[in-house]
Each structure stands twice: as structure tokens, then as C-alpha cells.
Structure 1
Amino acid sequence: MRRRPASTTDRQWGMPTSLGSRIPLASLIHMLAVAEYLSFHRAAKALGVSQPSVSARIRTLEEDLGVRLFERNTRGVRLTEAGRLFVERVSVGVDQLDHAVKTAGMAASGECGRLRIGIHALIPRSFLAELIARYREAHPGIEVEITEGTARDAIMQLRADRLDVAFVAGSPELPDCHTRPIWTEPLVAVLPQDHRLAAGQSAITWSDLTGETFLVRQGGTGPQVHDHIVLRLAGRWPAPSILRFDVGRGTLLSMVGQGFGITIVGSATSLLPTTGIVFLPFADEPEPVPFSAVWSPFNRNATLRNMLTLAGKMNRPGDSPQLAQQQ
């Protein structure tokens, strides 16, 4: 039976096809085994198939290619020059295919790839810093990308598929996103060290802060802090003054120390090295501030799933002394 030439046209679709796309992978694997063992018998034994099956595949492959790959004699087989060149190139392709299969499997299990995280801040020794550190240690093949910004910015980037997960203050209700509370932090007031309320008090109340000047950031959790201050001091007189600054967290704390005003933060901020300020917990805050993970319901990234699983395990009481103090 006459074989079709290597380059032909598929009669059904009228599209040009290549011979390579029609050669079964099994035939190439059989060919590589024969080239390795230089014996049909030993190649068949290594593959766990019958010798006639190997011989038939090699014969069909040679007929398809139109070249002889092996010279057969009573002492066994050896590669022809055409066969040697063919084996070299096929070996590279099969190795690449094997690598691609392994890489795909690792990506499916979340062992390689990337994870894009949106955060409000990354404070050393905080729950979030510990979570990311443990994740990177457990999944060294994952490239972790971190973007800092406001909760609003993070949600917009999630919707545009530029982030896999965002960690935001509060428990947002978003109809097009999944959310899950991950950890909590008590709310604390930050006062200058020489403030009238800084000495001799173990806690503070909102009524103590009536008429104070509050400093909040434009970025990070600044907008949420602003709204929280307005809510807690609504109806009190004199009304609070709230000043917004486009500065980082460290600069804002330094401004508090220099007497520009006071601010409120989650307790993790007290882990930062600071001078000239004091942190006082609120005695009349009804509950700690929750921090939530937010992600798209359409995101099937295994790296995201592994991050959420780890966060759930770390949130168990007693998992870490430092984390337990924050919670």
C-alpha cells in the first residue's frame, strides 16, 4: 500500500497538514527505546509490550517517513545516519513534552506559577507578613507579586483580573466577589508621647477623643479609617477635624509623634519600630477589626486555593504566639 507523502492536503477540510502531527507518540517512544537498547527484544521488554508490536510500529514509522531508521542483522540492529539524526531531534522534543506535562501538573496543583496579591500594608511579624512568608516557604516554585493600595483599588484590579486575591480591612459585601474573614486586629489609638491622655491610661474611649485632630492616609486603609472616625464620633461636639495626607504609614506615625494630630490603626501597626508615640487600645470598640480575603469566583488558580487553605490553618487558635496576640 502506497503511503501519502510527508506534506499533503486533508481532503475533508482542504487544509494542509504535516506528517509530524499524524505520527503517534507511542511510535516515537518505541523508536527511542529501540535506539537505546539496539534490540527489539530488550526494547519490548522495557516497554512492557510484545516484540512484534515494537517491530510493527518501527516498520510503519519508517514507511511514513520514507527513510530507514535501523539496519537489522543477525546480531541485532543499529541506527542508520538518518536514524541517528532523527533520534537526536525527537529526543529533544520528547524531553520538552515530558517537561511540559510535569509543568502542567505542577501548575494544576499550585506548585508552580504565580500568585498576585493586593495588600494595604506588609508589617513585619504581622499576620499577613507571616502568612506570605509561610506560603513562600511551602511553595518555593510560586512567584509571589505584591501590590499595595487602597481596598477600592484592589477590588478594581481583582475585577480586571490583575490580582488573584486582595486582603482588605473589614468584611465587604460584594455581589461579584467571594470574601472570607481571615484574621482580626484590635483597634488602637496612636497618640504623641506627651499627649494629655498618653500617661497613666491602659485604654481609651471614643469620648476621650472628642474634638481631637485626626490624621489619615490617602492610601492604604486611610479611606476606611476616615469613615470609621466619622461613624464613632457622629453627633459629638466639638466635631473632630480629619486631615488627609498622601504619605506612607511610617511618615504618618512620625507626624503623630511631632504633634500634628492623632490617628487610629490596627494593632499590627504597633509592631513597627517607633519613637515618640504610644498605642492605646479602645475600651469601647465593640469588636476587633476583621481583615478579609477577596477573590473572583471565576479564579480557578490552584495557587490561590493553596493560599486560602494556609490562611485558614493559621487562623486556628494557638497556631502561633505572635498571631494569637494579634487576634
Structure 2
Amino acid sequence: MVSLIQTLAVAEYLNFRRAAVALGVSVSSVSTRVKTLEEDLGILLFERHARGVRLTEAGRRFVKHVSAGVDQLDHAVKTAAMAAAGECGRLRIGIHALIPRSFLAELIGQYREACPGIEVEITESTARDALMQLRSDRLDLAFIAGPAELPDFHSRRIWTEPLVVVLPERHPLAGHSAVTWPDLAGETFLVRHGSTGPQVHDHIILRLAGRLPPPSIQRFDVGRGTLLFMVEQGFGITIVGAASALLPTTGIVFLPFADEPEPVPFSAIWSPFNQSPTIRNMLVLASKLGCICDSNSGDIQHRRRERPQ
């Protein structure tokens, strides 16, 4: 490889001394390596004369193809280095939802800005589906609601969100500043089949177990926006993370819980066998963004969505 580099330098400068100066080596070193290469190839690459050298026709063709090969090798080395640093490649992310201006939306947006060479693929699914896709190597990283203490995965808590109840604005509790779980006994809850729906269903059962009248829980295969519209239309009420209050909706109220012991944690999970640097870079950014959000966060206030006049 050194002989090829020195040969290309001589071909560029058409002078052994100038090539040696450019490479920072002795003239004898360049001359010896080029001569040895010519002998190994059995081809005269340069015609020597007093003022320098001139490429032979064979030498011209040889240098042309070697230059292209060296450029490709250089590109391959640089690309490999970028991939090893997580600056190019692909990151497949599983999410529960992507709400504009939410923590997760900000995180993904900043990651794509910081790593423009990474192709980000996003899949929305339930936590169970995300785990299956991680195990089958169809995802690199997933963000799930709730604690993530799974023996076959690495996990890291990234952010938290308070739970809020979503009520139609004409609901008797809509004017309150907060609600308690006993306030909701006997209500009809609307829950999605996908996203965090299964976890919401289990949480409602846990909080209202043994209370009378018992809650009615109806499950629907709809998107988040449709579910909130159904609340506005009086089908029932629902429970969501506080980030859902950022969605453009009308005729509903988001109220915090006065008796919910702590906000819901959201965790990143990934396979210990996946050593992709893209995961590491995403987690580093998530930690930085999480610290900023924690320092700027205030108390969650309830939000009322008014009907347009």
C-alpha cells in the first residue's frame, strides 16, 4: 500500500524529490519503492530523465485505476469509521405514540438534527409487540410506558408523565382542578387496543378494584385522536399521559389526579446483544434532554379544550 501511495505521488508531481517532500520521506525511499513495484509488476511505469519523470502509457493506465481503487478504499475506511461512531447507518425505533411537542417528539427531532447521516425508522406498537420485535431484531430501541425490569433487555428510565383523566367539558367533574380515583367509580372508560391501551386497562382495574359501582371498560381499535373525539361526543372518559393534552382537540378537559402516587415512567429498552453506536448516541441525547426538561418542568395544570365559537 505504501508503494502505491508513493507511486501516485510521483505520478502527481512527476518528480521524485517533490513527491518525497510532499510525503515527508526521503527521496531514496520513494525511488526504491517505485523501482521495486515496477520490478514486481514487470512493467516500466516511469521514464526517468534529468528534470524529472514521465509516465509511460502503461504507467498512465496503471495510475488511473489505482487512483480509483485508493479513493474507494479511502471512502470505505471513512464510511466504516462514521458507522462505528454512529454517524451513519440506521436506527429502528419502537414507540407508543408520537405527539407533537412532547418529550419523545423533541428527542427524535433533535437526534435527526444531530445525526443527519442516520436513517430513523419509527414503528408504533404496544409494549408487547415492541418486545417481540426487539427479540427478532426488527427494532434496535423501543420506548415503553411503565417500569422496564426485563431480564433479557437493557433498560434506562428516560422521562416521566403524570396521568390525566380526559372528560367531556359538560361532565360534572369538568370544572374541578383535579380528580381522585373514587370520583370515577362507575364511569365508562374508553381504552385503545393498541399503543398503551393494554397498560391503561390494567391500571384502571388496579385503581378501582373493589369499588362500587364497578367501572365499565370498553376497548376500541382506533387512534388516539379518534378516542379523544369519542370522549368529546360522550361515549365515556379515558386516561392518558399528560403529553396528550398537547394534541389539538376541542370540547374536552384534561384533569390531573390528586391521588395518583407518582407519574408514569417511560423507559428505553434494547437488546444487550445489539452494540450499535446509534443506540448509545440516542441514549446520551435522551439523558441530556431529560435533564433540561427536569430543570424547566413545573406543576402540571389541567387544560380545558373549548369548542370554537
TM-score w.r.t. length of structure 1:
0.89
In the TM superposition, residue 118 of structure 1 has moved relative to its aligned partner by 0.6
Question: For the residues of structure 2 that align with 1:178 and 1:326, how far apart are their CA atoms?
Answer: 30
**Greater shift in the superposed pair: 130-139 or 262-271:** 130-139
Question: Is the CA contact (8 Å cut-off) linking 1:184 and 1:326 kept in structure 2?
Answer: no
Please, which runs of 5 or more residues in structure 2 have no aligned partner? 302-309
Q: 2:306 — aligned with what?
A: none
Question: For the residues of structure 2 that align with 1:284 and 1:130, how far apart are their CA atoms?
Answer: 29
Query: What is the DSSP-based 3-state SS (H/G/I as helix, E as strand, rest coil) of the residue aligned with 2:203?
Result: helix
- The match for 1:298 among 250, 273, 280 is 273
Please, which runs of 5 or more residues in structure 1 have no aligned partner? 1-24
Deviations 1:56-77 (A, max 9, x none): 2111211222211111112210
**Greater shift in the superposed pair: 39-48 or 260-269:** 39-48
> Match of 1:92, as an amino acid?
A
The alpha-carbon distance between structure 1 residues 326 and 61, as it changes in their structure 2 partners (threshold 3 A), is: farther
Question: For the residues of structure 2 that align with 1:178 and 1:269, how far apart are their CA atoms?
Answer: 27
Question: Is the CA contact (8 Å cut-off) linking 2:99 and 2:247 kept in structure 1?
Answer: yes
Q: 1:259 — aligned with what?
A: 234
Q: 1:211 — aligned with what?
A: 186
1:178-327 superposed matches below 5 A = 178-199=154-175, 201-317=176-292, 321=296
Q: 2:93 — aligned with what?
A: 117
The alpha-carbon distance between structure 1 residues 181 and 324, as it changes in their structure 2 partners (threshold 3 A), is: farther
1:31-42 superposed matches below 5 A = 31-42=7-18
1:11-90 superposed matches below 5 A = 25-90=1-66
Identity level (%): 76
The alpha-carbon distance between structure 1 residues 195 and 113, as it changes in their structure 2 partners (threshold 3 A), is: same
Question: For the residues of structure 2 that align with 1:127 and 1:113, how far apart are their CA atoms?
Answer: 24
Question: Is the CA contact (8 Å cut-off) linking 1:185 and 1:326 kept in structure 2?
Answer: no
In the TM superposition, residue 51 of structure 1 has moved relative to its aligned partner by 1.5
The alpha-carbon distance between structure 1 residues 245 and 83, as it changes in their structure 2 partners (threshold 3 A), is: same
Q: 1:146 — aligned with what?
A: 122
Question: For the residues of structure 2 that align with 1:324 and 1:120, how far apart are their CA atoms?
Answer: 24
Q: 2:305 — aligned with what?
A: none
Equivalent residue pairs, number: 301
In the TM superposition, residue 291 of structure 1 has moved relative to its aligned partner by 0.5
Question: Is the CA contact (8 Å cut-off) linking 2:245 and 2:254 kept in structure 1?
Answer: yes
The alpha-carbon distance between structure 1 residues 118 and 297, as it changes in their structure 2 partners (threshold 3 A), is: same
> Match of 1:137, as an amino acid?
E
**Greater shift in the superposed pair: 136-145 or 254-263:** 136-145
Query: What is the DSSP-based 3-state SS (H/G/I as helix, E as strand, rest coil) of the residue aligned with 2:291?
Result: coil
Question: Does 1:94 pair with 2:94?
Answer: no
In the TM superposition, residue 174 of structure 1 has moved relative to its aligned partner by 0.7
**Greater shift in the superposed pair: 245-254 or 134-143:** 134-143
- The match for 1:166 among 115, 136, 142 is 142
In the TM superposition, residue 318 of structure 1 has moved relative to its aligned partner by 5.3
In the TM superposition, residue 319 of structure 1 has moved relative to its aligned partner by 6.4
Question: Is the CA contact (8 Å cut-off) linking 1:268 and 1:326 kept in structure 2?
Answer: no
Deviations 1:259-293 (A, max 9, x none): 11110000000000101111110000000011001
Question: For the residues of structure 2 that align with 1:82 and 1:261, how far apart are their CA atoms?
Answer: 83
- The match for 1:131 among 78, 84, 107 is 107
> Match of 1:174, as an amino acid?
L
In the TM superposition, residue 245 of structure 1 has moved relative to its aligned partner by 0.6
> Match of 2:208, as an amino acid?
L
Question: For the aligned residues, what is the CA RMSD?
Answer: 1.5
In the TM superposition, residue 317 of structure 1 has moved relative to its aligned partner by 5.0
Question: For the residues of structure 2 that align with 1:172 and 1:156, how far apart are their CA atoms?
Answer: 14
In the TM superposition, residue 326 of structure 1 has moved relative to its aligned partner by 6.6
Question: For the residues of structure 2 that align with 1:163 and 1:28, how far apart are their CA atoms?
Answer: 43
Query: What is the DSSP-based 3-state SS (H/G/I as helix, E as strand, rest coil) of the residue aligned with 1:133?
Result: helix
The alpha-carbon distance between structure 1 residues 47 and 319, as it changes in their structure 2 partners (threshold 3 A), is: farther
